[in-house]
């Protein structure tokens, strides 16, 4: 997850955390926790969707047009007067597309893990989704990604590459396909927030030290 770690640890990431916290009225440390869990889940769900030819082409089209990365050029402006409703609506559309019927389950699990109410979680996700797509759009431009296969490789690389990405992907997929008991996201969130114990090679090792956890 070096790509996402870089994003959240960068000045832009700190601006993102601060802006989202201000928008939702939640403490920055809790907002950072939610984003560090939600970003990998969003990325994993996008990678799962991109595994189908139609899904990959749809994501490519979005990244080459509306989500080309320009949203990242003025985060100060984005958060300055409150996030524009158009951005929130866009985020809601992205979440509906990538999570589908699992969206309430994702929000409730993140809520129980972070202690932030599900309504605020929903708001955080709606802001994070267009920004994550913008980040992907920028990466696809910088790396000249022009095919669905290359896009899948980029997503895997941002999730840590190789076996790490595969492990995380299977964990995320089993969560998204699970029967709603929430146990898998507890594993995922525990790895992220607690440093992961024996699972240092997974999400915990890469994100566990984030924000001083």
Q: Report CA-CA distances (Å) from 139 to 70, 129, 154, 168, 194.
A: 12, 15, 8, 21, 29
Number of domains in the chain: 1
The mean per-residue pLDDT over the stretch 81-101 comes to: 89
How does DSSP classify residue 25? T
Termini Cα distance of the chain: 17
Q: Quick one: pLDDT at residue 183?
A: 55
When pLDDT is cut at 50, 70 and 90, the band that residue 119 belongs to is very high
pLDDT at 187 over 60: no
Burial readout 18-56 (b: 16 or more C-beta within 10 A, e: otherwise): ebbbebbebeeebbbbbbbbbbbbbbbbbbbbbeeeebb
Helix %, strand %, coil % for the chain, to 5?
80, 0, 20
Least confident stretch, 19-28, 51-60, 99-108, 203-212: 203-212
Q: What percent of the chain has pLDDT over 70?
A: 72
The two structure tokens encoding residue 163: 């076996």
Phi/psi zone of residue 117: left (φ > 0), alpha (ψ -120 to 50 degrees), beta?
A: beta
Could you tell me if residue 47 is inside a domain? yes
Q: Quick one: pLDDT at residue 175?
A: 61
Q: Quick one: pLDDT at residue 206?
A: 36
Residues 121 and 23: their CA atoms lie apart, in Å, by 12
When pLDDT is cut at 50, 70 and 90, the band that residue 213 belongs to is very low
Could you tell me if residue 185 is inside a domain? no
Could you tell me if residue 166 is inside a domain? no
The mean per-residue pLDDT over the stretch 21-31 comes to: 92
Residues 197 and 53: their CA atoms lie apart, in Å, by 37
The mean per-residue pLDDT over the stretch 175-200 comes to: 50
pLDDT at 178 over 60: no
Q: Quick one: pLDDT at residue 198?
A: 37
Could you tell me if residue 173 is inside a domain? no
pLDDT tens readout for residues 142-168: 888 888 788 888 887 777 666 666 666
Domain that holds residue 55: 4-160
Least confident stretch, 59-63, 172-176, 205-209: 205-209
Could you tell me if residue 72 is inside a domain? yes
Q: Report CA-CA distances (Å) from 191 to 13, 97, 137, 172, 181.
A: 21, 26, 28, 12, 18
Residues 120 and 114: their CA atoms lie apart, in Å, by 11
Could you tell me if residue 146 is inside a domain? yes
Could you tell me if residue 213 is inside a domain? no
Could you tell me if residue 119 is inside a domain? yes
């Amino acid at each position: 997850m070096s790509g996402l770690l870089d994003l959240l640890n960068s000045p832009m990431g700190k601006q993102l955390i601060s802006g989202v916290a201000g928008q939702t009225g939640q403490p920055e440390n809790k907002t950072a926790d939610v984003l560090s869990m939600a970003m990998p889940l969003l990325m994993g769900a996008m990678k799962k969707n991109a595994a189908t030819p139609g899904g990959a082409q749809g994501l490519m089209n979005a990244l080459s047009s509306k989500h080309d990365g320009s949203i990242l050029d003025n985060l100060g402006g984005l958060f300055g007067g409150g996030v524009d409703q158009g951005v929130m609506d866009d985020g809601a559309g992205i979440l509906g597309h990538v999570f589908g019927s699992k969206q309430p389950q994702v929000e409730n699990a993140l809520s129980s893990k972070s202690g932030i109410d599900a309504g605020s979680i929903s708001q955080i996700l709606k802001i994070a989704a267009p920004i994550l797509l913008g980040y992907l759009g920028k990466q696809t431009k910088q790396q000249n990604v022009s095919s669905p296969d290359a896009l899948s490789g980029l997503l895997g690389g941002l999730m840590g590459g190789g076996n790490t990405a595969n492990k995380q992907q299977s964990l995320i997929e089993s969560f998204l396909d699970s029967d709603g008991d929430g146990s898998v996201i507890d594993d995922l969130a525990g790895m992220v927030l607690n440093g992961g114990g024996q699972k240092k090679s997974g999400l915990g090792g890469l994100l566990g030290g984030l924000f001083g956890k």
